[in-house]
Amino acid sequence: MDDPITTFFERLATRGYEPLLHTVSGTYRFEIADAGNWGVMVTQGTLSVTRELPQASCVIICTRDLFCAIVQGEQNPTTAFMQGRVQVKGSLSLAQVFQRIFRVRPETRLAWEVTGE
Amino acid sequence: MNSKTVSILEGNTFVVSDLQGDIDASPSEPTGLFAWDTRMLSRWILTLNGVRPDLLSTDDLSYYAIQFFLVPGTGTIYINPDLSIFRKRMVGRGFHEELLILNHRSEAVDLTVRMEAGSDFADLFEVKDALAKKGELYQRIEGGRLVLGYRREQFVRETWVTSSAPAEIDGHGLTFDVHLEPQGSWSTDLDVIAATAVSGMQTTRVKYLREHISAKPEMQLNLEQWIENAPSLNCDWNWFERIYQRSLVDLAALRYYPRLLSDKSLPAAGLPWFMTIFGRDSVITSLQSLPFTPELAGTTLVALAAQQGTIIDDFRDEEPGKILHEVRFGEMTAFEERPQSPYYGSADSTPLFLILLDEYERWTGDAHLVKRLELEARAALHWIDAYGDRNGDGYVEYESRNKETGLENQCWKDSWNSILFADGSPSRLPRATCEIQGYVYDAKMRCARLARHFWNDPKLAERLEREAAELKRRFNQDFWLPEREFFALALDGDGKKVDSLTSNIGHLLWSGIVDKEKAEACVRHLMGEQLFSGWGVRTMAMSEGGYNPVGYHLGTVWPHDNSLIAWGLRRYGYRAEAAKIAAGMLAAAIYFKGRLPEAFAGYPRALTRFPVEYPTACSPQAWSTGTPLLLLRTLLGLEPDGEHLLADPAVPRMFKRLDLLSIPGRWGHIDVCSRGTLDLVGMDSSLPFTF
């Protein structure tokens, strides 16, 4: 059975450029209990994923179950954070803008990839 | 705000107390220490030997610090007090309070001083709607401090209370055994720390301590800089200068630092209920203040773009490309009992965002931001056509996707019963209110300019201009009421014209959607006695079935509404009429000590001679604070034109001289000087224009 967390980060790694993050540059570390650490680097929307990232400007910490619920769209990341179920160390602004990654559906692409007529 | 309370604030932390400095909050009273939409302290009561002191005076000179001067409660005026009590308070991550007691007697005194402390940790929504808590309250004493706490699952909020002087601490407060020598004094520093707030991380101290109060803290320096950077106003009618200063200081107070841009601020909507980001309010206040404090607009645009909707989410009324309505951080939002995380229930914030983007560039020349936000602007345009126009009729209409906690009306008149027919009967959803169509027209025209000059997309520019022209043509047919000669308030869900005469037609002038030949009739209505109260334009005309001079959006006068109407009148060349609205608003401001409230009653000025404040109005309210600024721009006829600033003053005679110096913009800084030459017809200028 595919692990949704591994799948999520593997898909992220193949995404390359994410227009929703086109204004974002920063480094993230996800510390997911029982699922390990993942690092994500964003340079003006261009993404890369690693398993090792000692330095990160934004560290996001939560449980495996919660992260699964977030990547599967069952839990809103902002309210999970507000409830105290997601911890953020470092830049809150980077965390806030990254949560858009979890909220991408086909209709999002229609709005963000319009290039004139 | 009730005049029997005083408040100090920084960002979204604020303290509202009575005039003595005490907080004794009932479940539905908005007094207390609030941080991130949660009441962190609801009880803070000082007693001496069990008796609450009496008030001599309250000194609230700055928005973030306040002093209370008290004497022991004697119950009679015939006994001279022999003690003085000073409380000095400063807000920031909670608050810092210095308590000083002076003995004026020639003998020593022993006193029991008690500070009662408690918190209900109410969500602002609970305070507003008087709802009950779902988690558990607790108190504990640890490390010499009183910890007040609330827990619901992993949602934890704690307030810590500490004292510099030794105290006996119990679960409900601190007690001091005070011995005062003859002519002696005693003092303690009390810190009330909002220890856990939205991030779940611990704050261990308040922002400003004793030494910061005499040394100028960051806030004071910041405020001085803020005022210095804004243009200076000289007017022979001195009240204008005072109103202008009040606006600048209140705008500084209402600055809100969004977490995503911690060093930059944008305007929050208003105290006490709305110390948060509102799409509509933040955009309009940014528009009003562009000639004065243009940095607010830049931050507003970036912050709103960063939280633009990405998916269809019924609970939050979210749609791809939509600009948010409101953000909250309290418990009910956290547990999704309310949708403000963020909530997207406004149909006008998206076109208003686009209007601000263009207007911002016209003033500042910041092409970089316009290019940086191209994708977001395109997504916003996509929203207008793909989602805003719900039924494909070419107009943007609204109906909440969230039937339980969504907003019934998603235009600026957002009370549930604001969109009524002339006979007072309700209209049906979905509703396409007229001013939103105006905003869409304006947004498309402005984005055509941006597409051509900054996005290198002339095809988009042509398409937007074509669509805007078609919208204007259809709107002038479909919304026009030929027998009454004004535009309908809305088209409702049955396609009927909602035929009340309202202030919304003034917004249409601002947007430019009104055909030239229809403008005069609109102006006649706006300045006629059914709409114009003598102070300003009512939200709804007296002639209409739904009219109520104290109905929130059914007849009250809203300052921000009037500032946009005056701007619209200037756009169509009605200089004297715009000046008349400005004069009426500024005259009203005098009665509120220079601070226009959110709204005031729609009674005729000739009847009351006094602008009667609307009972629960927020004050200061950002877009009311911005109103004198936009009126000033309108009176001076300021309009950017390429690299230049044009001025075409139309100033009432009673102002005599009106000079605005050092107006910042892409031109550097420019002075505009004017003389009052206009005589206002039918306007009583006698009382408030003399001292």
Q: Give the DSSP letter string of B264-297.
A: --EE--BTTTB-S-BHHHHHHHHHHHTTT-THHH
Interchain proximity B261–A97, CB inside 8 Å: no
Residues B339-397: tens digit of each pLDDT: 999 999 999 999 999 999 999 999 999 999 999 999 999 999 999 999 999 999 999 99
CB contact under 8 A, B386 and A88: no
The alpha carbon of residue B275 is apart from the nearest alpha carbon of chain A, in Å, by: 17
- Give yes or no for B124 touching A (CB within 8 A): no
- pLDDT at site A117: 36
Question: Could you read off the pLDDT of B490-543 as tens digits, one per residue?
Answer: 999 999 999 999 999 999 999 999 999 999 999 999 999 999 999 999 999 999
Of the listed ranges B176-185, B188-197, B307-316, the one predicted with least confidence:
B188-197
Residues of A with CB under 8 A from a CB of B: 19-20, 22-23, 76, 78-79, 82-85, 87-88, 92-93, 96-97, 100, 103-105, 107-108, 110-112, 114-117
Rounded Cα gap, residues B436 and B431, in angstroms: 10
The pLDDT confidence band at residue B271, using thresholds 50, 70 and 90, is low
By the 8 A CB rule, do B15 and B9 touch? Answer: yes
Residue with tokens 């109060």: B213
Whether the CB of B263 is below 8 Å from some CB of chain A: the reply is no
- Measured between beta carbons, the chain B residues lying within 8 angstroms of A116 are 451, 457, 459-460, 463
Residues across chain A: 117
The answer to whether A16 touches A42, Cβ cutoff 8 Å, is: no
Percent share of chain B, pLDDT over 90: 77
Mean pLDDT within B144-163: 95
Q: Could you list the residue range(s) of the whole structural domain that residue A82 is in?
A: 4-112
CB-CB under 8 Å, A84 with B155: yes
B573-629 pLDDT, tens digit each: 999 999 999 999 999 999 998 999 999 999 999 998 889 987 665 678 899 999 999
Å from A117 to nearest chain B CA? 6
* Inter-chain touch A115–B378, beta carbons under 8 Å: yes
* Residue A54: both structure tokens together: 């000692």
Residues from chain B contacting residue A45 (CB–CB below 8 Å): none
CA torsion sign for B265, B270, B275, B278 is: negative
pLDDT value at B70 more than 90:
yes
Burial code of B634-644, b = ≥16 C-beta within 10 A, e = fewer? bbbbbebeeee
Q: Which of residues 468-487 of B touch A (CB under 8 A)?
A: none
Short-list B531, B466, B456, CA closest to B500: B531
What distance in Å separates residue A67's CA from the closest CA in chain B? 16
Give residue A108's pLDDT: 93
For the stretch B385-429, pLDDT in tens is 999 999 999 999 999 999 999 999 999 999 999 999 999 999 999
Q: pLDDT tens digit string along A49-73? A: 998 777 899 999 999 999 999 999 9
The pLDDT assigned to B168 comes to 97
Contact B310 A100 (CB under 8 A): yes
Q: How close are the terminal C-alpha atoms of chain B, in Å?
A: 27
Torsion angles phi and psi, residue A69, rounded to 5 = -60, -35
What per-residue confidence (pLDDT) applies to B130? 64
Q: Return the pLDDT at B218.
A: 60
In this prediction the pTM is: 0.93
> Which strand ranges, in their side-by-side order, compose the sheet holding B136-142?
B54-59, B65-71, B83-91, B94-103, B185-196, B155-163, B145-152, B136-142
B253 band by pLDDT with thresholds 50, 70 and 90:
confident
Sequence-distant (6+) residues with CB within 8 A of B270 are B254, B281, B598, B618, B619, B620, B621, B622, B624
In this structure, what token pair is assigned to residue A70? 């977030």
Distance CA A95, CA A32 (A): 15
Q: Do A83 and B383 count as a contact with CB atoms less than 8 A apart?
A: no
Q: How far apart are CA B654 and CA A65, in angstroms?
A: 69
Residue whose structure tokens are 């345009």: B381
Joined tokens for residue B50: 């069990």
CATH code, domain carrying A41: 3.30.1050.10
A115 to chain B: which residues are within 8 Å by CB?
378
pLDDT at B690: 42
Q: Do domains B5-220 and B230-675 have the same CATH topology?
A: no
Is the dihedral angle over the CA atoms A2, A4, A5, A7 positive or is it negative? positive
pLDDT at B570 over 90: yes
- Of B21-25, B26-30, B449-453, least confident by mean pLDDT is B26-30
For B591-651, what is the HEC assignment? HCCCCCCCCECCCCHHHHCCCCECCCCCCCEHHHHCHHHHHHHHHHCCEEECCEEECCCCC
pLDDT at B215 over 50: no
Check residue B37 and give left, alpha or beta (phi > 0: left; psi -120 to 50: alpha): left
* Closest residue, chain A, to B340 (C-alpha): A79
Question: Does the structure show a pLDDT above 90 at B45?
Answer: yes
Mode of pairing for the β-strands spanning A58-63 and A25-33 = parallel
CB-nearest partner of A111 from B335, B382, B460: B382
Residues 6+ apart with CB under 8 A from B296: B251, B255, B265, B266, B267, B285, B286, B289
pLDDT in tens, A6-52: 999 999 999 999 999 998 999 999 999 988 999 999 999 999 999 87
Whole-number pLDDT of residue B388 = 98
Structure tokens at B523: 């102006």
**B39: which residues sit within 8 A by CB, 6+ positions away?**
B25, B32, B33, B119, B120, B121, B122, B123, B124, B127
Closest Cα of chain A to B261: distance in Å? 7
Rounded to the nearest angstrom, the gap between the alpha carbon of residue B565 and the centroid of all alpha carbons in its chain is 18
Q: What is the DSSP letter of B52?
A: P
pLDDT grade for B6, boundaries at 50, 70 and 90: confident
More confident residue, B2 or B625: B625
Kindly tell me the number of DSSP H helices and DSSP E strands found in chain B: 19, 29
The residues with which B498 forms a beta bridge, in sequence order, are B490
Number of structural domains chain A divides into? 1
Chain B CA closest to residue A24 = B306
Q: What is the pLDDT of residue B62?
A: 78
What string of H, E and C letters represents the secondary structure of A55-97? CCCEEEEEEHHHHHHHHCCCCCHHHHHHCCCCEEEECHHHHHH
Q: Cβ of B402 under 8 Å from any chain A Cβ?
A: no
DSSP 3-state assignment of A112? helix
Q: What is the mean pLDDT of chain B?
A: 91
pLDDT at B198: 63
In a domain, A71, yes or no: yes
Contact yes or no for B465/B445 (Cβ under 8 A): yes
Query: Which of B201, B262, B341 lies nearest to residue A93, judging by beta carbons?
Result: B262
What lies within 8 Å, CB to CB, of B7 at 6+ separation is: B1, B14, B15, B16, B17, B271, B272
Band of pLDDT at residue B691, cut at 50, 70 and 90:
very low
In a domain, residue A79? The reply is yes
**Please, which pLDDT band fits residue B680 given cuts at 50, 70 and 90?**
confident
Asked whether residue A62 is domain-assigned, the answer is: yes
CA pair distance B435, B412, nearest whole angstrom = 9
Q: Where are the domains of chain B?
A: 5-220, 230-675
Task: Kindly report which listed range (B139-148, B186-195, B245-254, B523-532) carries the lowest average pLDDT score.
Answer: B245-254
Provide the pLDDT for residue B266: 72
* Whole-angstrom distance, CA of residue B1 vs CA of residue A102: 40
| HEC string for B507-561 | HHHHHCCCCHHHHHHHHHHHHCCCCECCCCEECECCCCCCCCCCCCCCCCECHHH
In a domain, A117, yes or no: no
Sign of torsion over alpha carbons B436, B440, B442, B447: positive
The verdict on a CB contact (< 8 Å) between B320 and A78 is: no
Task: Quote the CATH superfamily of domain B5-220.
Answer: Glycoside hydrolase, family 65, N-terminal domain (2.70.98.40)
Domain B230-675: assigned CATH number: 1.50.10.10
What is the distance in angstroms between the Cα of A101 and the nearest Cα belonging to chain B? 10
The tokens describing B84, both together, are 């003085």
State the pLDDT at residue A116: 39
pLDDT range class, residue B1, cuts 50, 70, 90: very low
Q: Which residue has the higher pLDDT, B39 or B267?
A: B39
**What pLDDT is stored for residue B30 in this prediction?**
79
Structural contact between residues B40 and B14, judged by C-beta atoms closer than 8 angstroms:
no
End-to-end CA distance of chain A: 43
B261 at the A interface (CB within 8 A)? yes
